[in-house]
């Protein structure tokens, strides 16, 4: 099983700042099958990034993903008020499909 570890657990920033979220895998993720999801309270997760760096349909270009192998990053270039949420990484290249424990992005 591939274990995904996200850091930090909580990130406190202000609107307009840059956010950098990390996801580290216990072993290499096949063919960059790594996704990022955003979840707001009371809502289902929403796909942001797939294939480590491809933005999903309708996702603003302030969201970007990078990385390969075991180290992946989600960057939000300039935070908007609606970006404060919990973010999860997911590997879907091998079963069991696994998720990181999440990073909570709070307003400072």
Chain residues binding other proteins by CB under 8 A are 30-31, 33, 35, 37, 44-47, 50-51, 56, 88, 90, 92-93, 95-102
Q: How far apart are the first and last CA of the chain?
A: 36
Nearer to other proteins, 29 or 76 (CB): 29
CB–CB of 101/7 below 8 Å? no
- Give whichever of 13 and 56 is closer to other proteins, judged by the CB atom: 56
Helix (H, G, I), strand (E, B) or coil at 91: strand
Q: How far is the CB of 96 from other proteins (least distance, A)?
A: 5
- 87, 102 contact by CB (below 8 A): yes
Kindly tell me which of 13 and 99 has the beta carbon lying closer to other proteins: 99
């Amino acid at each position: 099983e591939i274990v995904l570890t996200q850091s930090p657990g909580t990130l406190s920033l202000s609107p307009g700042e840059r956010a950098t979220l990390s996801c580290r895998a216990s072993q290499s993720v096949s063919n960059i099958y790594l996704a990022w999801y955003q979840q707001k309270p009371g809502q289902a997760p929403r796909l942001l990034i797939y294939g480590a760096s491809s933005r999903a349909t309708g996702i603003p270009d302030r969201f970007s993903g990078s990385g390969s192998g075991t180290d992946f990053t989600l960057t939000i270039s300039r935070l908007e008020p609606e970006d404060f949420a919990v973010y999860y990484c997911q590997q879907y290249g091998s079963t069991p499909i696994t998720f990181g424990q999440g990073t909570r992005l709070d307003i400072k």
